[in-house]
Amino acid sequence: METETLAMAQEIDFSLIALFMRATLTVQLVMLMLIVASFWSWAIIVQKHIDYRRARTHAGIFDRAFWSGEPLDQLYDRIGPEADNAPERIFSAGMLEWRRSHKQDGALIAGAQSRIDRSMDVAIAKEAEEMNRGLPLLATVGSTAPFIGLFGTVWGIKHAFEEIAVHQSTNLAVVAPGIAEALLATGLGLLAAIPAVVFYNKLSSDSERIVGSYDAFADEFSTILSRQLDS
């Protein structure tokens, strides 16, 4: 009897596609949801790596231009109010408010320093929002995917017990397919969650460092303008 049962079990197809096709509709939907979440997470991870690398490159180029000794007015005229990247947009926001704070006779309107600082803070906030776009999705996938997979596993095990009741048998050929299908849902949940959590932490740290460099530049730029205001 055991030999016959083992022979039947060996004939069962345990490939991923076969397990998916044999699963109940609910478990199939869970698996599809986790697969989509995994691909979506990887798309965000790759895109963020590209964005952050581009941001660091732009920051390096602008930093060299800013400290090259070129007059700030000439640098602003060359960049223009519609800048192409984050460091230039922050600089343009400060310079635009600096020019607006001058009266026609050359005198400064009161409160210029605070307005310049607020303008750059608003620009930095916009850049930080853009930097962090997509990261909440990674956090959501990382925190919920294991539980979604667990739900699929519980549902699959319930179905396996129903099969046992229908066939009035607990042999391996009856139990193994249902348990395998159920565990596949948990595996997909972990497959989606682990990279999402790991890269969420890394990308969040990278974003904080980049935004921190923007804050540092704004402080340095504000100090330079403050000296001109005092003089």
d(CA 107, CA 148): 64
Backbone phi, then psi, for 102, in 5-degree steps? -95, 135
User: Does the residue 189 lie in any domain?
Assistant: yes
Residue 5 — very low, low, confident or very high, per pLDDT cuts 50/70/90? very low
Q: What is the pLDDT of residues 135-144, one digit of tens each?
A: 999 999 999 9
Output the pLDDT for position 52.
95
User: Does the residue 16 lie in any domain?
Assistant: no
Per residue, the 3-state secondary structure of 47-93, as one string, reads HHHHHHHHHHHHHHHHHHHHCCCCCHHHHHHHHCCCCCCHHHHHHHH
User: Does the residue 4 lie in any domain?
Assistant: no
d(CA 150, CA 129): 33
State the average pLDDT for the chain: 84
> What token pair was written down for 154?
């519980």
Q: Per-residue pLDDT for 230 more than 70?
A: no
Cβ contact 211:127 at 8 Å: yes
Output the pLDDT for position 114.
87
> What token pair was written down for 212?
């921190």
Output the pLDDT for position 1.
41
Distances, alpha carbon 5 to alpha carbons 9, 158, 177, in Å: 6, 22, 13
User: Does the residue 152 lie in any domain?
Assistant: yes
- Say how many domains are in the chain: 1
Residue 127 C-beta-side C-alpha neighbours within 13 Å: 30
The residue with greater pLDDT, 124 or 170, is 124
Average pLDDT over residues 79-88: 85
Output the pLDDT for position 217.
92
Q: What is the pLDDT of residues 13-62, one digit of tens each?
A: 556 676 767 777 888 898 899 999 999 999 999 999 999 999 999 999 99
Output the pLDDT for position 231.
62
Q: What is the pLDDT of residues 84-137, one digit of tens each?
A: 899 999 999 998 888 887 766 666 677 788 888 999 999 999 999 999 999 999
- pTM assigned to the model: 0.81
User: Does the residue 3 lie in any domain?
Assistant: no
Output the pLDDT for position 2.
47
User: Does the residue 11 lie in any domain?
Assistant: no
What is the span of the domain harbouring residue 164? Answer: 22-230
